Amino acid sequence: MGLPTLGLFIAKWEAPFFVWYNMSLVKKRPKIVCIGGGTGTYQILLGLKKYPVDLAAIVTMSDSGGSSGRLRQDLGILPPGDIRRTLLALSSLHIKKKTLKTLFDFRFNNGELAGHSLGNLLLAALTQITGRPDLAISEAAKILEVSGQVLPVTTDNTELVAELTDGIIIKGEKNIDVRKIKPEIPISEVYLSPKGKIFSGAKKAILEADLIVLGPGDLYTSIIPNLLVSGTCQAIAGSEAKLVYICNLMTKHGETDGFTVSDFLREIRKYLGRAGKRLSVVIVNNRLKLPTSVSSWYKKYKSEPVLLDLEEIDEVKIITGSFATSGKLIRHDPSKIAKVLVSLF
């Protein structure tokens, strides 16, 4: 082959080769799925959204209290409360986060709307307009310019049930969350009635994830209800993602009285079933100095810091550090937790 011919040959293949080479150097954005509900998931998402990752939040659908419970009963829709908080966490609207949160969390004081939050009413309206809860969430995500996916763990109407160690049955998330019936008696198990099937979008997100994050949040009313939905644990077991659990900062009276880290971990593994073998990392706050006013509030509600009992824990990596931030209450610091989670890649 002469030099002119060789030059044409190289030129012909040069461009496609370098396009392929450059594309191979581009790292795909890690996919992180957070499973939970309530303020715990809200805090974690606030931190993670600042990183170049693809986020999906899978949210519990068992809430039966307050505005969510009333809308669920009156309109026959799924409880919107935890979805509302998650949408707010991932919103990219050019409006102050505090202002947006105040607006969507605003609750009417009187009349027939008393107790309802504006965000819940928006989701209720969108559900009736679209005819489907998943479409309502999708439309709300567009309005709020959400960066990531917000997915219900199930679109089936389910109710959370708890059985105490003395055999007493308590029905409804609200009654379990703020327990008035024998709060001194431990919970033996929780289940859904009916069980409910995992939402297809949630299943897809889990199977495609690089990292799955459980918690933090109320153990029996925010985290475990997701694992009770048929198909959730199976999807986690079938995923190649690293599975991480963020342990709570404080115990909760009527749910986790006296619980240590190993107790939380034992219950999480119990409900994960065979998917529990995938749990490889537990993040634990081990530095907690409560201001006097905050400490007094928690003591009033019989809540205390969760202690780390390393000697009772095996087969997982424990990451400890100062991950808490204090205000009126103690919460996980979004930036600190997000930094740890992203470092796992």
Tell whether 179 is covered by a domain.
no
Q: Are residues 83 and 216 in the same domain?
A: no
Q: Which amino acid is at 273?
A: G
Identify whether residues 248 and 132 lie together within a single domain: no
| 34 and 98 both lie in a single domain | no
On whether both 266 and 344 belong to a single domain, the answer is: yes
Domain's final residue, options 152, 185, 206: 152
Same domain assignment for residues 107 and 239: no
Range of the domain at 111: 62-152
35 & 68 share domain: no
Whether 251 maps to a domain, the answer reads yes
Same domain, 301 and 236: yes
Do 253 and 297 lie in one domain? The reply is yes
Task: Show which of 93, 122, 152 is a domain's final residue.
Answer: 152
Looking at the structure, do residues 334 and 251 belong to the same domain, yes or no?
Answer: yes
pLDDT tens by residue, 198-244? 999 999 999 999 999 999 999 999 999 999 999 999 999 999 999 99
213 lies in the same domain as 124: no
pLDDT higher than threshold 50 for residue 134:
yes
pLDDT band at 23 (very low <50, low <70, confident <90, very high): very low
SS3 content of the chain, % helix, strand, coil (to 5): 45, 20, 35
Residue 107 and residue 245 in one domain: no
Q: Is residue 190 part of a domain?
A: no
Number of separate domains in the chain = 2
Among 94, 117, 152, residue at a domain's last position: 152
pLDDT tens per residue across span 56-91: 999 999 887 777 778 877 787 888 889 999 999 999
Least confident of 111-115, 127-131, 202-206, 211-215: 111-115
Residue 13 lies in a domain: no
pLDDT of 327 > 50? The answer is yes
Cβ atoms of 318 and 3 closer than 8 Å: no
What pLDDT digit, counting tens, does each position of 286-320 carry? Answer: 988 888 899 999 999 999 999 999 999 999 999 99
Separation between Cα atoms, residue 33 and residue 306, nearest integer Å: 25
Can you read off the two tokens belonging to residue 215? 């918690």
CA distance 279 to 241: 10
CATH of residue 252's domain is: 3.40.50.10680
Residue 173, domain member (yes or no): no
Q: Does the pTM of the predicted model rise above 0.75?
A: yes
Within this chain, do residues 130 and 265 fall inside the same structural domain, yes or no? no
Q: Does 209 reside within a domain?
A: yes
Would you say residue 3 lies in a domain?
Answer: no
Q: Which amino acid is at 44?
A: I
Angle between helices 81-90 and 118-130 (to 10 degrees): 100
In a domain, 169, yes or no: no
The token duo for 214 is 């459980």
Which of 267, 293, 302 has the alpha carbon at shortest distance from 162? Answer: 267
